[in-house]
Amino acid sequence: MGAPRNTAVYRRYEAVLKAPRALPLIVGGFVARTEVGGMSLALVLLIHHETGSYRAGGLSVAVYLVTASANRPVQGRLMDRYGRAGLLRLLTGAHLVLLVALASSAAGGAPAGAVLVLCGAAGLTLPSLSAFIRVAWAGLPVSKDLLGTAYALDSVLYELALVSGPLLVGVLVALTPPAVPVVVLGVLAFAGTLLAASVPAGASAGASAPPGRTRSGSLTGVVRPVAALVSVGVALGAVAVVVPATAQASGAIALSGPVQATWSVGSLAGGLWYGSRGWAGPPARRAAIALTWFAAFLTLFAVWSDLLWRALTLLTAGLALAPALTTVLSLVPELVPASRLTEAFAWISAAEPAGAALGSWAAGSLVAAGRPTLAGWLPCVGAVCAVAVAGRRWPAAPDAGAGQEGSGVRPVPVGRPAPQRARIPDAPATARPCAGRRRTGRNGASAPTEPSREPRRHRP
């Protein structure tokens, strides 16, 4: 009895993997996004090796990440307007050239200002690959039911890429000069992006819309998902500061890394479980339920100050993290026009890092002010804000529900049956009045006719 159940669990992932042009998205996305997980560590190690200052290394990473996050919505808008794959190839080529220049300049003893400029330029050209991949999944011949499984698989692979990047940097630093990991990550990002860009992600707005209508549609529908993910990012960023502070106060600073990694373990398990099943009901309700679970265990995280108990709460809260993010992603194509889908996903990609930066800054300020207990409540506050945003009714896309243009079809409101015309029964063929009907007896003899039911007319 166990084999059929396991087969049912993995059948959905098998269907996603067998979808046309799915493997380039999966393999290319994983290879390219190892840079996202490892570049911060690679830059810190490179700049510290050349300058002896962690402060300079942290500043370089901050410039790189801020410029990369700020440019994602701009990239999404340009992709929607001028073409997604072409712009992605152009950006990843420029990004690789700038990373090589950055690594050689830092290793050659270039001025700090020049290194910061190169960090900013490299961040500006970092391709918004996650937005492209999500739009490409929405454009593949995958049913709406399996689209959530595809997004769950993408989230799991993204988590694995975030873990694999630092591991690769650690191996390369032990074997090569510090400038080599930066270049290797750039090469991997270049190769993976080109592979993923070989998958068509739908026509751009500028190519498909008539003249004068290339910017049709509004992005107001994406405000709610962005607000929810900014709130989730606040929780993640605050945890990244509170956990090391708790470990240091407990005299077990070496455990801060493993404790914080419980996020990823729980998220991976939850994402795999969520994507292996089909779900009924509104996706917005599932997002609200998952975020409520997330907020409940982060409340326990704030209440329990013991390091091991906090590790347990992070593991349990992480079980709902990937399902919540996957459900929010599956809502985006229904909330925004197709002509601006890449830009919407770019805003989604930038939301969580922006919230994480805010949460890290707020938690760090509270810990530095001697209020670690108050800082421990920040993850709970961010999660509760996410629940408050997701619990309200989600708006529909500006062009959702409209009938086909020029078809003359009026949309029927959801939940209301279509009007039916009253059917008039056909008149029987023998409905004409007659003076009488002749009946036939059992032996075939004629029977007397029935008297006419019409009133008799008396002759004068």
pLDDT of residue 382: 92
User: 214: which 2 tokens?
Assistant: 């290339």
The confidence score (pLDDT) of residue 211 equals 37
Domains parsed from the chain with CATH numbers: 8-205 (1.20.1250.20), 220-394 (1.20.1250.20)
pLDDT for residue 74:
84
pLDDT, residue 96, reads 95
Token pair 């929607």 in the structure block, residue: 80
The per-residue pLDDT for 416 is 40
- pTM, to two decimals: 0.65
pLDDT given at position 103:
93
| pLDDT the model gives residue 431 | 46
User: Which pLDDT score, from 0 to 100, does residue 117 have?
Assistant: 93
Mean pLDDT of residues grouped by 10 in the chain (460 residues)?
50 81 89 86 84 79 82 83 84 94 90 91 88 81 75 82 82 88 94 89 44 52 87 87 83 76 82 78 85 93 89 91 84 80 82 81 84 90 90 56 34 40 47 47 49 48
